[in-house]
Amino acid sequence: MRARSEPAWKPKKDLTVLNRDIPRVDGPEKVTGAAKYTHDIRLPRMVYARFWIHPYPRLNLTKVDVAPALKVKGVVYVKALKEAGEDVRYQGADAAIAVVAAETPEAAEDGLRAMIIEAEELYPPMVTAEQALDESSPKIGRGGKNVNVREERGDEEAANIALDTVDVLIEESYSLPVQHHVCLETHGSVVDYRGGDEATVYTSIQNVSGTNASAARALELDADKVNVITHHMGGGFGSKFGIGIEGSTACRIAKELGRPVHLMLTRGDEFLMGGNRSGSQQTIVGGASKDGRLVALVAKADRFGGTGGGAFAGLPYIYKVENSFFESRSIYTATDSSRAMRAPGHPQASFGMESMVDELAFAVGIDPLTFRKQNLEDPVYHRQLDRVAKEIGWDAHPNKTEPGAVDGTRQVGIGFAISQWGSRSRPGSQCEVRIEPDGRITSTTGTQDLGTGSRTYVAAIVAEEFGLEVGDVTARIGESAFPTSAGSGGSVTTGCSAPAIKDAAHNAREAFEARIAPMLDAEPGQLVWRGGEVISAQDPQKSLTWKQACAALGSEPLSAMGEWQEHLRSQGVHGAQAAKVEVDTVTGELKVLKMVFIQDCGLVLNRLAARSQVNGGQIQALSYGLLEARVHDPDLGLMLTDNLDDYKIAGVQEIPEMISIMDDDDDRLAVMGMAEANCIPGHGAIANALFNACGLRLRDLPLTADKIIMGLSDRS
């Protein structure tokens, strides 16, 4: 037996499938509606369940009478999740007072409305930072506090002393509102349990392999008897790592009724309890020397993560500052906890830092591109910034060191920002490649495709290994019964699963070669897999078609497992953003004309899917920058934007020309996830472009027309 050789990615020039534009393998299914998302699952005798969520955050329940719901035709199940006398502590899952299940969604809703739930509302509702920070307010946060210091970095005294020496000093506050994930598919599960000791749980989750244990617990079944399925998913963005109370409740109802249960959150419930990206308020004091060196920075950031701690990447973020101090605090409110959301903490930190850097650049009179490069050590950022500057047309742009004027015309501006992401990965993911005697070949792993395109490389990596086309390989993903794969968070998906897929393909090829090499009078390892054939390296006359080779397996399929291999992955993504905007200095209309983003990410498995991720990241940042904000009434405690009319996200008309570039100067021949760095800097670059266009510096997102108009009328 030959010693096993190490799998390795082929050099880019030798790749025939990977590192090219590969259309998604499930594209046709998705566009024809054949793809079944959790929401679409319909099962015999299935019931629809819904929560009764109280809209007010802090309550003392005085009456919980769910019985009237049972009188509604079609209602088959009601249950109080809280009793009279109990408290509701925050808006969100804690305010789910009862649940109902019925033969139709309409009957379920009628059932909810028939219940009698009364409560004393505790004042103040504690939905704003002002309420949390008010000395006289009740203490509702973690550890009986409304404020917790989370992180301190650097020497404040030294940084303050350094600030005294700078040529230019700027002190400003920057703020970002709470943002929602707005997954097109809301959270929820369809639990198929009809008695017995087995169940299938369809769920919209970004952590398939890690979910059967919790589902089994809720169902009181053995974990190996519960298969969790997420074949298709309408987005997660970090908000869907666990089945949540919506999933466990669905499991319990199914167990009690012995009938399948469909429990998907309504859009309104999704806004109230589906998680969010924490807001932030940052005070930054920055100082630079005349020649454009960042000398000192003192930054204090508050995170608004509801009952959660919120997230905030440290400052000075990526820039090199000689003396810096950073402190962050969590401010607790009685609202739904923040969750991970696409690059947690980074879009907030990036906005504050990139705004400050831009302000200092203009204050010292050095153009913002040069200023940035002067304060960045990593040469990757230099080349990336130069590239986006070229694509956006910076050279020909007039406003280099002075912004345009407010003169009644439309003004064009350009802004920059940068980003980073770790894209780490970890051991544990596995994959099985199986070749059938009839020529079928499958690649099976428990990973999930959130809409990102991961399913496509599950097939493509194997196709590359055997010289096949992507369509020849069937990717099977999204079941907890499949070989384990990592949850999709922090851009680990590709770094965790692709090495295991590659390893399985490699192992399958070696085993296959051992079987068929003799038929070609060749040694294993001396075969070439190309164009649907396997060819002897010594004697190219000797070859088998893929089908012939598979038939040689006899009656049993060939199966090989693969494991995560550290050397097949790398980590560390850099990104640079440029944005070009046009602002109407009469009406304040801000239009983003163009966005350019470049990033590196080692070996790009599928260039089309990667660019699509970059497009999506830029759009999410644009939407954050231009429109998105959660709004509460501070007195009534109600969330006023719990729907997609009032929580505005960008639509087609907002989308500018977009250029998404893979940094091909990156020569790391290893893979990593790549979908976070691109959603970090966009809104900062747009805010900087607005300033560049007309001299209006807005430090409070979103950059809506009302703020721009007021700012412009102050200036003119």
Partner 1 sequence: MKAFELQNPVTLAEAARLLPTKEGDESARLLAGGQDLLTELKHHLVEPDRIVNLKHVPGLDAIEWGADGGLTIGALVTLQDLAEDERVRRELPILAEAAESVGSPQIRAMGTVGGNLNQRPRCWYYRNEHAVCLKKGGTECFAYEGRNKYNAILGGGPSYIVHPSDLAPALVALGAQLMLASPDGQRQVAAEDFFTLPSEGNVLRETVLAPNEILARIVVPPPASGMKSTYLKFQERSSYDFALSAVAVCIWMDGKKVKEVRMVLGAVAPKPWRVKRAEALLAGRELDADALKAVGEEALRGAEPLAENGYKVPLTKGLIVRALQKLS
Beta strands in 467-609 (DSSP E): 473-476, 527-530, 533-536, 543-545, 558-563, 573-584, 590-599
Phi and psi for 577 in degrees, rounded to 5? -125, 140
Nearer to partner 1, 107 or 361 (CB): 107
Going by C-beta distance under 8 Å and a sequence separation of 6 or more, which residues neighbour residue 1?
Answer: 514
| 39, two tokens | 């929401």
Nearer to partner 1, 514 or 631 (CB): 631
* Least distance in angstroms from the C-beta of 659 to partner 1: 21
- How far is the C-alpha of 465 from the C-alpha of 9, rounded, in Å? 10
Alpha carbon separation from 85 to 56, 117, 122, 191, 270 (Å, rounded):
16, 12, 13, 32, 26
- How far is the C-alpha of 668 from the C-alpha of 164, rounded, in Å? 43
Nearer to partner 1, 125 or 247 (CB): 125
* Least distance in angstroms from the C-beta of 648 to partner 1: 5
**What is the DSSP code (8-state) at residue 675?**
S
Nearer to partner 1, 88 or 208 (CB): 88
Nearer to partner 1, 279 or 292 (CB): 279
* Least distance in angstroms from the C-beta of 656 to partner 1: 12
Nearer to partner 1, 271 or 597 (CB): 271
Contact 446, 389 (CB under 8 A): no
Nearer to partner 1, 300 or 630 (CB): 630
Nearer to partner 1, 259 or 594 (CB): 594
* Least distance in angstroms from the C-beta of 582 to partner 1: 12
* Least distance in angstroms from the C-beta of 189 to partner 1: 24
Reference 347, options 96, 623, 124; nearest CA is 623
* Least distance in angstroms from the C-beta of 641 to partner 1: 8
Going by C-beta distance under 8 Å and a sequence separation of 6 or more, which residues neighbour residue 669?
Answer: 8, 9, 11, 12, 602, 603
* Least distance in angstroms from the C-beta of 622 to partner 1: 12
Crossing angle (nearest 10°) for helices 682-694 and 346-364: 30
- How far is the C-alpha of 475 from the C-alpha of 457, rounded, in Å? 8
A 10 A CB-CB count for 584 gives: 18
Nearer to partner 1, 418 or 592 (CB): 592
- How far is the C-alpha of 686 from the C-alpha of 693, rounded, in Å? 10
* Least distance in angstroms from the C-beta of 637 to partner 1: 9
* Least distance in angstroms from the C-beta of 559 to partner 1: 50
User: Please, what's the b/e burial string for 373-410 (b: 16 or more CB within 10 A of its CB; e: otherwise)?
Assistant: bbbbeeebbebbbebbbebbebeeeebbeebbebeeeb
Nearer to partner 1, 282 or 704 (CB): 704
Nearer to partner 1, 50 or 574 (CB): 50
Nearer to partner 1, 519 or 638 (CB): 638
- How far is the C-alpha of 90 from the C-alpha of 335, rounded, in Å? 5
Nearer to partner 1, 271 or 362 (CB): 271
* Least distance in angstroms from the C-beta of 655 to partner 1: 9
Q: What is the dihedral of CA 471, 474, 480, 483, to 10 degrees?
A: -110
* Least distance in angstroms from the C-beta of 237 to partner 1: 21
DSSP assignment of 394-460:
-TT-S-SSS----SSSEEEEEEEEEEEE-----TT-EEEEEE-TTS-EEEE-S---SSSSHHHHHHH
Cα R_g (the chain), whole angstroms: 28
Nearer to partner 1, 556 or 706 (CB): 706
Reference 345, options 285, 273, 284, 421; nearest CA is 421
Q: Helix, strand, or coil here: 362?
A: helix
* Least distance in angstroms from the C-beta of 638 to partner 1: 6
* Least distance in angstroms from the C-beta of 408 to partner 1: 8
Long-range contacts of 164-169 (CB under 8 A, 24+ apart): 165/287, 165/295, 165/296, 166/287, 166/288, 166/289, 166/295, 166/296, 167/287, 167/288, 167/289, 167/290, 167/364, 168/287, 168/288, 168/289, 168/290, 168/360, 168/363, 168/364, 169/285, 169/286, 169/287
What is the SS3 string spanning 282-312? EEEEEEECCCCCEEEEEEEEEEECCCCCCCC
* Least distance in angstroms from the C-beta of 694 to partner 1: 14
- How far is the C-alpha of 63 from the C-alpha of 116, rounded, in Å? 7
Q: List interacting residues with partner 1 (CB under 8 A).
A: 55-56, 106, 110, 113, 586-589, 591, 626-627, 631, 633-636, 638, 640-642, 645-646, 648, 650-654, 704-707, 709-710, 712-713
Nearer to partner 1, 13 or 71 (CB): 71
* Least distance in angstroms from the C-beta of 651 to partner 1: 3
